[in-house]
Amino acid sequence: MVNRSDVHYFGAGPAPLPTPVLERAAQALLNYKDKGLGLCEISHRSPDANEILADAKQALTALLDIPDDYEILFLQSGGSGEFSATVYNLVSIWVEKKRAKIAQEVGDDKDELLKRLKMVVDEELKLDYLVTGSWSLKASQEAARLVGAQHVNVAADARKANDGKFGKIAPESDWSLTPRASGGPAFVYFCDNETVDGVEFPAFPASLEGDDAPLVCADMSSNFISRKVDVRKYAVIFGGAQKNIGNTGIAIVILRKSLLPPVSNSCSPDLLRALNLPVGPIVLDYPTIAKNNSLYNTLPIFDVWIAGQVMSGLVSAYGAKKIGGQEAISNEKAKMIYDTLEKYSDVYRVVPDKTVRSRMNICFRVHGGDAEKEKAFLSGAEKKGLLGLKGHRSVGGIRASNYNAVSIEGAKALVAYLEDYAKAA
């Protein structure tokens, strides 16, 4: 029998969870708070469920210093669902602002208002996407599917700077962002960490700073709660929970309250249809979810509880350091692994450029990508209890996902195997 302590799991998601959390979860599934009911059996509208939501929000707020003027939502869409949700919500807000401005000029003339609004949408609606890997590419494709490719501006395509492959981020001077002088985009979208391709933004893009900066939406699915984040720089942050935060089942959204009523309103569904723009499902409507404390429909409370337990554990572990404590550990583990890969550069080749290497998803090839030798490398790793190292099916190779639940001991075990394999090669 293989014990949990015998293996170290480096899978990219679903990812490992802290063992103490799983032990408490096992009990909670059977009998939560000695109520005779399991956590998956309680009502999502019960006082216990509301307490779980509040605790999870409090822990995330403490870790990331989330300001009071931001809202935290829990949804069931996963990260991919948020590709759509961000478009539905932020485009609707953009259209409503344009409608209100035109209405001031044309008054009650509905035909003229619609005519001018159609012209504005056709000529001015742009969504800027920084395509730096597989997930931001999919997000841009979803946006094009929803609103039309003519409204999607791929402001940066990392493949153009890297011989048709992902692995670099072009200098900001090469980005073709929609000019702010012409009204700017409805939002700028980027994926902070690309799970498949091992690329991570080293810092917030300087070109998106400033008082007149456009709305910024960032997918942080795979580097959530792994480093400090200045939340105020973002309009929307989202991520699936199944990497660093919890198990598969929920997505977490952090957004400015100024994007919600009564400060900001969405365009009416009828007007969106008249403009040939999509009307989103209500379960992805941020105002609806916020108004109902994430409980508009049946929320998987067990998944929220797991996320809250993970985040509360980090709050307790790092105290005043907050997420900075976890960031130091993440950096230490990543440096340890990258240094070893570079030490044996005749055997290993790190895929992404050094300037954008992900701390979370360490992608490399063995013996130049020789299929049989990589297969043997993975087989040898499994015998050592090092699991989940196979690269994504779309790119192949090796990928060691260095999420929070991967211990220092796990990273050291991987380093020891890298050393042994290289010396024997």
pLDDT of the residue at 51: 97
Distances (CA, A) of 66 to 57, 79, 287, 310: 10, 20, 19, 17
DSSP type of residue 7: -
Is there a contact between 407 and 415 (Cβ–Cβ < 8 Å)? no
pLDDT of the residue at 263: 94
What is the Cα–Cα distance from 181 to 244, expressed in whole angstroms? Answer: 39
How big, in percent rounded to 5, are the helix, strand and coil portions of the chain?
Answer: 50, 15, 35
- E strand map for 167-318: 187-191, 193-194, 199-200, 216-219, 236-240, 251-256
What is the Cα–Cα distance from 123 to 148, expressed in whole angstroms? Answer: 13
DSSP 64-108: HT--TTEEEEEESSHHHHHHHHHHHHHHHHHHHHHHHHHHHHHTT
What is the Cα–Cα distance from 363 to 380, expressed in whole angstroms? Answer: 18
Q: Which two three-digit tokens encode residue 355?
A: 């300037």
pLDDT of the residue at 149: 98
Distances (CA, A) of 2 to 100, 385, 406: 64, 9, 18
pLDDT of the residue at 1: 85
pTM of the model: 0.97
Q: Looking at the DSSP assignment, which residues form a beta bridge with residue 238?
A: 219, 253
pLDDT of the residue at 79: 93
3-state secondary structure of 133: coil
**Consecutive 10-residue averages of pLDDT for the chain (425 residues):** 93 96 97 96 95 98 98 94 97 97 93 96 97 98 98 97 93 95 93 98 95 90 97 97 95 97 94 97 97 96 98 97 97 98 98 97 98 98 98 96 97 98 95
pLDDT of the residue at 77: 86
Q: Which two three-digit tokens encode residue 45?
A: 């509208």
Look at residues 252, 210, 199 and name the one whose alpha carbon lies nearest to residue 232.
210
| Ordered structural domains, the chain, with CATH | 56-303 (3.40.640.10), 322-424 (3.90.1150.10)
